[in-house]
Structure 1
Amino acid sequence: MTVSSLSMFASRGICRCIGNKRWWRSLAANSTLAFGVGSGIIQLLFALWPNIETSRIAILLALMVSSLACGVLRAVPRTKVSRSFGRPDITVVVKVGDLFDEQSHLVIGFNDVFDTDWTGDVVISRGSVQGQFLDRVYAGDIDQLDSDLSVSLAGFPVQSRETRSSKRAGKLIRYPVGSVAVLSSGEKSYFCSAYGKMENDLTVSSNMDDLWLSLGGLWRAVGRHGRREAIAMPIIGSEMARIDHADREMLVRMILLSFVVNSRERLISKKLTIVIHPDDAHRVDMLEMGAFLRVL
């Protein structure tokens, strides 16, 4: 994250905290704990050295201020929350950052025709995760990406074929939602998951059923090809295929729930990291995410 992104996240996070009851409870609990610890230390010091010539009022004020400061520091918005499970032996992380900086296998969201053309941002946006994938992993080589996708999808059933008259741009062969093309570069794998449908008007549509179905297919693919190694993914369903009635927090919770539920049936990966883009950090309450992880 850049300094500007961090400062923006912090300012937005602080504003959000003011209206967050959980933040106020956390502030009160941490401040009270710090005050209790500080009081105990001060009482011990006075018991050991009763002749200390210091204003009791000044000490009390200093203790109150320092306790409040400690409470604020512990309750400020975080950029990362995590939880480790014993059964199964997995770790889940939700963090703000750059997906492509993660040293792990990556999940890239695609539509059901696995479109890749970013010309004029008509079919695929250069700023999307797909666009960044093409740029940062394939150096903009669309032909190579299309070739790799075709090889990986060769064993998948074709659901239907569009005509150029009905779909004016992009690819025409549709695969079932939940299909996953697995691409590799060195020791790193990229799981290209079809979680939505590219409509003929070039808008992507998806829903909670499609997302849950695609997550099931994703975990099966990761289990087969990921060697149980760490995997990272964005909040799929939150960009061009924004799912009705589901904000980013709900989507994160759904991804986490699906991963944990499926991991209890069969170990998928030792670690899942959901990476939130810095521009979306203010849309996900990390205090709520931390609370959700604790009861998951």
Structure 2
Amino acid sequence: MLKIGVLGTGHLGKIHLKCIQLAVETYDLVGFYDPNPAMAKAVAEQFNIRAFASVEALIQAVDVVDIVTPTTTHFALAVQVIQAGKHVFIEKPLTHTIAEAEELIRLSKEYGVQVQVGHVERFNPALLALENTDLNPMFIEAHRLAAFNPRGTDVSVVLDLMIHDLDIVLSMVDAKPTKVSANGVAVVSETPDIANARIEFDNGCVANLTASRISMKQMRKVRFFQRDAYISLDFLEKNAQVVRLYDQDAANLPENANLLEWHTPQGVKMLHIDMPPIESVNAIKMELESFADSIVNHTTPKVSIEDGYQALKLAYEIIREIDQGSWKVDLTKE
């Protein structure tokens, strides 16, 4: 069993504490550190766990450190953890800057520790339901809309919300992004509150992503379009739908009642609608357990530090495009 400690006990930090306490077969929750004495006292009483007096003391007492603090503090804390030879889980986004992320990658290799980034949507039941589905998307459309919440407005909506979908798209598309087009508007904060980005990949795939934190309704949907198939995911409602076209005489034609005739320019096709079974899971608990498994078995974490870096890098390309106000940036040019 791995000894783990948590840095940061804000809204999300408390959720992590609860989930770690549920993972009783995986982790021994040693305690936490929070710089606010009043907060530390309250959390220690609420969870009946130790509040450490310093970051250094907590690091020395554990095998794994879970960083759930403001993004601007991720780098300095992670450096301390890694240089102490301890494994680290870091909430998204990985770091505040690209240079910081690159340095953490270097340090994690130098000290031989595991790092996982908290892109929790990778563990959403809707996405997990597609594990046995052949995916080769050529067009992707994502909408992530939320009501305004002052928490998180210190960064652009691209880093606050869109980065979830950037990570998902990068994990799904086996190709490199080549061009970005983006626009965004700051409505109630000092950074963009709504943004749209179009990402082109070198295999021809195109992703169109919209994120807003000033919406009247919540939405977290992603749609994948590929040859003879349409896949829809609802991360909020946690469901998935796969619509696929087959030739009438296809050897792999599903044998069930969910088949409809579909007249196309190429002739009659058989349309099959599938609703993959959804397993109810605690996504944060699952991602933390997955990290423990990668540590014990010396395997690459499901959301590696390199994955977190690539999502962050693409997010900053989008932010740069929004800041410049031009409509297209060619990433293939120096």
Q: TM-score, normalised by structure 1?
A: 0.27
Greater relative contact order (Cα 8 A, min sep 6): structure 1 or 2? 1
User: Counting strand residues as a fraction of each chain, which structure ranks higher?
Assistant: 2
